[in-house]
Amino acid sequence: MSDITTQLIERIKSQKALVGIIGLGYVGLPLAMEFSRFGFMVLGFDINQKLVERFNSADCYIHRVDRKLFAQLVRENRLSATADMSRLAEPDVIIICVPTPLNKNREPDMTFIVNTSETLVKYLRSGQLIALESTTYPGTTRDVVKPILEKSGFSLGKELFLAYSPERVDPGNNDFQLFQIPKVVGGLTKNCTRIAEIFYRSVFQTIFKVSSLETAEMSKLLENIYRAVNIALVNEMKMLVDRMGLDIWEIISAAATKPFGYKPFYPGPGLGGHCIPIDPFYLTWKARQFEFPTRFIELAGEINTSMPDYVVNKTMEAMNRRRVCLNGSRILVLGVAYKPDIDDMRESPALRIMEILERDGAKVDYNDPYIPKVSEQRQTKLRKESVPLSEQALKQYDAVIIVTNHSSYDYQWIVKNSQLVVDTRGVTKGIDEGSEKIVRA
């Protein structure tokens, strides 16, 4: 074992290693906090100067993390941030947590990973571990990141160490703390894997080593595609049993009593978040290079992306029965976060539902206790502010659509004071059963 490898491992084991996190968003900030609270000094990097200033002033901009702990770590100077990329020479370990979106043709957009790697290579020094955590297609670390890092002149596996370890953040899930979620690790070489394992083991309870970078990359895609396909299945079942006059929620509850061979998935108005709606298309794109059709994945994508249209159609049908035209109506959408009790609206189906409603002539408002403003972003041109809820306000809307089932909503109160409620999450079951003012979509 070389002196470079030995020194890096010793610094990691003694927690003298400085950890750098590139990208301080929904993945990077919680990860930075985790390494910091387990004893490492952490330096975060982000190109957004305003975000860096908020970080360093202990103004936590992500709802789901422990704000008191965040402030304490910043106050103790164990956690800090910078927009000065020349400081990338300082950390012993650098974790890349940048976005990996799709372009308008649903192809992987590697811009953030490429730009980050090209910036990083300017400041690399011998004895650093680089770990990519951004979700991406198999081959990204080897074929995209590695050639850029090799421009440094350092030998990868001997002087620089490269690994991939997929992030597994689950916003709103309080059953697992980040360090309790098993960490998959794959390196460019056995030496890279060994160092990455030692590093992540210093925080995470369970490490699962795999044989290659590509295996680690594919494991994350499989996790998310599994969810996407099963959600599509239950969404299709929902639309079918609706025509049959059956209740999908009761059916799922009945099936879930089987103690083996079945795992319940639940329908909804569509997929949201940065992972489930996007990651499957990384693999469909990669599969085309091998002339392999990914029919399950593409069909699941079609079903899930069609769900906002289904919700709007169900709303329109319910309004027609009340002799109310969608064009010119007032609609309130409850919840624009992509899942309950979080402040993340990336790829949220609520945004698409609001766009369709407005396209068809409705005046649309929304309420979300976690998201005060909707601003223009990749998947929407909407600009709105959350409106307050009151008995008088609810009565003014021709329909109220429950899109996100936040736990803070009083659904019985909402149903009581609304003219029509379209429930996409099954939260009104048991409330005013048989009432024509409740429609499940």
Active site residues: 275
Q: Is 92 helix (H, G, I), strand (E, B) or coil?
A: coil
Q: How far is CA 39 from CA 19, 72, 165, in A?
A: 11, 13, 21
Q: Give the closest residue to 404 by CA, choosing from 241, 172, 63.
A: 172
What DSSP string describes 329-351? Answer: -EEEEE--SSSTT----TT-HHH
Q: Which two tokens stand for residue 248?
A: 């999908």
C-alpha span between 91 and 125 (Å, rounded) = 10
Instruction: Spell 134-172 as b/e; 16+ CB within 10 A means b.
Output: bbbbbebbbebbbebbeebebebbebbbbbbbbbbbebb
C-alpha span between 377 and 351 (Å, rounded) = 10
C-alpha span between 45 and 96 (Å, rounded) = 10
E strand or H helix at 401: strand 399-402
Contact status, residue 80 vs residue 60, Cβ threshold 8 Å: no
Longest dimension (CA), the chain: 79
C-alpha span between 227 and 280 (Å, rounded) = 10
222: exposed, middle or buried (C-beta count within 10 Å: 0-12, 13-18, 19+)? exposed
Q: Which two tokens stand for residue 176?
A: 């697992």
Q: Which two tokens stand for residue 78?
A: 């164990």
C-alpha span between 134 and 95 (Å, rounded) = 9
Q: What residues have CB less than 8 Å from 37, skipping those under 6 apart? A: 69, 73
What DSSP string describes 189-253? Answer: SHHHHHHHHHHHHTT-S-EEE-S-HHHHHHHHHHHHHHHHHHHHHHHHHHHHHHHTT--HHHHHH
Strands (E), 260-390: 330-334, 363-367, 373-374, 384-385
Helices (H), 27-122: 28-37, 49-56, 67-75, 111-120
